[in-house]
Structure 1
Amino acid sequence: MTTVPLDPSEAERLSESLRPHYSDVLQYDRVLLTAHSHQAWPNVAKAGLLRSYEDAAEFVDDKWGRVLAVGARVRQGIVDRIGGRIEEVALGQNTHTLVFQFLSALDLKERPHLVTTTGEFHSLHRQLSRLRDTGVDVTFVEAQPVDTLAERLASAVRPKTAAVLCSTVLFETSARVPHLRAVVEAAHRHGAEVLLDAYHAFCTVPFRVEDLPDPVYYVAGGYKYAQWGEGCCFLRAPSDCHLEPVLTGWFADFAALAAPRDGRAVTFGQTPADRFAGSTFDPASHYRAAAVLDFHDREGLSVERLRALSLAQSARLLEGLEGLDVVTPAAPERRG
């Protein structure tokens, strides 16, 4: 999917129309160039946080029905942006926990091989490196050149591969990884799972679940371009998910909480999301995310619209850096 950048005058008009909604962060005299890490929050984020406090004050332990409804709003917002179904989306406080749940569900005794890249974010790179230290066979495919990365990942998959884990946009360069279908198809041929880390793409690079053949696991979060802040991440599992994570929380099967503790096997809820549910969490981040999602919807800030604005802004920066060695691709279709 190719998005045309907004022309400079249109980008300026859109930016000016949005400035009042970011007055809290704009009151400080600075220019933020940190969207690839910490995106600025709109003012409505504060209202979301206050609502979480007010619900806790009014309802105390009875707040959880409201909390779960807010979480459902966030999950629906995710589905609106990437496709799939709400019952496929599990929320978590960070992507590391969600990815480790995924890893804990793999049969690494029968399939002791994982494939990844040298360009993954620190949390995934560190975790896979630690697994390598314990004896898991991890292939780190060189991330550069990115134009052939998918094909080289595909070539690294073998019959004993349990999963391929890679980014859709590389965090160090903001380069999009092309030809991901080749990775997915190679993994499927060998019976391996696929997990795509889209944290540096979510809400700025359009993606739909149906773009790639299932099963594909998709993990991302709200800290960056989504403008939700910390503590609200998600994993999308395929509709026919059969994984049973070893790292599992008591939210994963509410129906079994009253079952006799007689040694029976652990069970999971009925939906793919249930399998990756955790345990008690601070819901303030969900309230904040829901408020921002509502704001984006009201203002018509779809992923495609945000993408067009982002490309216009990054093009302006690249023009100012002409002559310097910039690792981010200049071509709009190649950069995140």
Structure 2
Amino acid sequence: MYQHFYQRYLNAHSGKQHFACHSHYFWPDVTREAMLAYWDDSARLADEKWAFFFSDVVPQTQHFISETLNTGAPEQIVFAPNTHELVSRLLSCLDFSRQVRLLTTDSEFHSASRQLQRLEETGQLQCHREPAQPFASFTDRFIGQIQQHHWDMILVSQVFFNSGWVVEHLEQIVEAVTSSDTIIVIDGYHGFMALPTDLAPIAHRVFYLAGAYKYAQAGEGACFAHVPPNNTLRPVYTGWYAEFGELASPRADAVTYAKNGMQFAGATMDFCALYRLRAVFTLFAEEGLSVERINRYIKQLQQRFLELLDAQSHPQLNRSSLLIDDENCRGHFLTFELAEAQSAKALSEQLRGKGILTDYRDRRLRFGFGLYHSLDTLAVDLS
């Protein structure tokens, strides 16, 4: 149905079934044209390209993202090459002259979890990781932790990367935070451009981090944060982009920051990734491919895949090992929990030998679905 948008990637992977789009989504063909446009604009404008990027490419991409998330504040979108840079910049806002208290979960991606663990080793950070499971009680347990202590930062995913579980009632979680100086961070990487997301009720309060590598289908280098307006944070880890809007002012004794999302910007980056992301957004707008429409299609693919599994009665990949059965509670990949990590690794390698590409995390084998899959041709041979 949508395969004609992905011909270059599909041709390069002919004979294979790519079920790892929750990790590396195939890029639509328009992204190649976007990369060439970036080169041509760079050649045409040379030193003048920066003004063009910030007056044309950046605002257009900010608008697309803000519209997708319903923030109503495109100027509050800031870009970075990766989410780790954004997480680190947020952490640098905390007062490490004392021990910092941070609430998170045991299912956050490595860009955050590794950094937090390293800070714990210094003794400067005290971190509580609320278990994601059992999923049904997670929201109540997490809110309970919020209410028991004062936290300097709260960091939670919209969708857990290692299971696909969609965190319910994010609005209620945010409302439970009564201290205005607590920084609230939502890792939206597995939700952005996959699940319909309305940040309007909480956009005034939360930092929402995501990027283009997965469901936005534009590759690496185009990550972003929605920055809540009118905050007074002054990140220590800061770059010269963060002074945009203030560059023409006389140099002050104190470091100044932009009055919008650029407050959390870094420094010089490769804007080719934003060209690719803008091209994907433009394509989807022209084709009427809303996030709601994409999500419905992926759910249909998941259901068809499970029906194919049912017919094969595989001893390991079946409904009993499916971690999240309710499609309303999972993102765009199916996770099967096997008996041990070695079983997941061995099965993933066995499938790869058949041209079926998956990935695994510990005991969990993941199958992702994308627009370049077809309901008519979807197949998986486990014999």
Tell me, yes or no, whether TM beats 0.5. Answer: yes
Q: Secondary structure at the match of 2:127?
A: strand
Distance in 2 (alpha carbons) for counterparts of 1:191 and 1:67 = 34
Shift of 1:334: 0.6
Quote the residue 1:238 is aligned against. Answer: 228
Distance 1:168 1:327, change over 3 A: farther
Shift of 1:162: 0.5
Q: Secondary structure at the match of 1:50?
A: helix
Quote the residue 1:6 is aligned against. Answer: none
**1:143 pairs with one of 105, 109, 132:** 132
Distance 1:73 1:194, change over 3 A: same
Matched letter for residue 162 of structure 2: E
1:273-288 equivalent positions in 2, closer than 5 A: 273-288=261-276
Shift of 1:166: 0.6
1:207 equivalent in alignment to 2:197: yes
Q: Which moved more, 1:298-307 or 1:108-117?
A: 108-117
Quote the residue 1:35 is aligned against. Answer: 21
**2:37 pairs with one of 31, 37, 51:** 51
1:133 equivalent in alignment to 2:117: no
Matched letter for residue 138 of structure 2: L
Quote the residue 1:9 is aligned against. Answer: none
Matched letter for residue 107 of structure 1: D
Distance in 1 (alpha carbons) for counterparts of 2:35 and 2:76 = 26
Shift of 1:172: 0.9
Q: Secondary structure at the match of 2:177?
A: helix
Quote the residue 2:296 is aligned against. Answer: 308
**2:210 pairs with one of 210, 220, 225:** 220
Shift of 1:54: 0.5
1:103 equivalent in alignment to 2:103: no
Quote the residue 2:67 is aligned against. Answer: 80
Quote the residue 1:183 is aligned against. Answer: 173
Find the structure with the greater CA-based Rg: 2
Check conservation: 1:163, 1:187, Cα contact below 8 A.
no
Distance in 2 (alpha carbons) for counterparts of 1:159 and 1:190 = 14
Query: What are the ranges of 5 or more consecutive residues in structure 1 without an aligned counterpart?
Result: 1-14
Matched letter for residue 26 of structure 1: L
Matched letter for residue 96 of structure 1: H
Shift of 1:79: 0.7
Matched letter for residue 31 of structure 2: A
Matched letter for residue 236 of structure 2: V
Matched letter for residue 73 of structure 1: Q
Q: Secondary structure at the match of 1:42?
A: coil
Shift of 1:191: 4.4
**2:3 pairs with one of 19, 44, 51:** 19
Distance 1:42 1:213, change over 3 A: closer
Q: Which moved more, 1:322-331 or 1:300-309?
A: 322-331
Check conservation: 1:184, 1:213, Cα contact below 8 A.
no
Distance in 1 (alpha carbons) for counterparts of 2:306 and 2:113 = 29
Q: Which has the higher helix share?
A: 1
Check conservation: 2:150, 2:179, Cα contact below 8 A.
no
Distance 1:182 1:206, change over 3 A: same
Shift of 1:108: 4.2
Matched letter for residue 187 of structure 1: V
1:116 equivalent in alignment to 2:104: yes
Quote the residue 2:344 is aligned against. Answer: none
Q: Secondary structure at the match of 1:206?
A: coil
Shift of 1:119: 0.5
Matched letter for residue 79 of structure 1: S
Distance in 2 (alpha carbons) for counterparts of 1:196 and 1:188 = 17
Distance 1:104 1:139, change over 3 A: same
Quote the residue 1:12 is aligned against. Answer: none
Check conservation: 1:132, 1:138, Cα contact below 8 A.
yes
Q: Which moved more, 1:56-65 or 1:206-215?
A: 206-215
Query: What are the ranges of 5 or more consecutive residues in structure 2 without an aligned counterpart?
Result: 311-317, 332-383
**1:333 pairs with one of 328, 333, 357:** 328
Distance in 2 (alpha carbons) for counterparts of 1:155 and 1:121 = 23
Check conservation: 1:164, 1:187, Cα contact below 8 A.
no
**2:77 pairs with one of 76, 86, 89:** 89
**Percent identity for Structure 1 against Structure 2:** 35
Check conservation: 1:187, 1:193, Cα contact below 8 A.
no
TM, length-normalised to structure 2 = 0.79
Q: Deviations over 1:296-331 (max 9, x none)?
A: 111111110111111111222233334354444221
Shift of 1:35: 1.8
Q: Secondary structure at the match of 1:278?
A: coil
Q: Which moved more, 1:150-159 or 1:69-78?
A: 150-159
Distance in 1 (alpha carbons) for counterparts of 2:271 and 2:235 = 23
Q: Which moved more, 1:252-261 or 1:65-74?
A: 252-261
TM, length-normalised to structure 1 = 0.89
Quote the residue 1:198 is aligned against. Answer: 188
Check conservation: 1:110, 1:160, Cα contact below 8 A.
no
Shift of 1:211: 4.0
Q: Secondary structure at the match of 2:221?
A: coil
Quote the residue 2:237 is aligned against. Answer: 247
Matched letter for residue 151 of structure 1: D
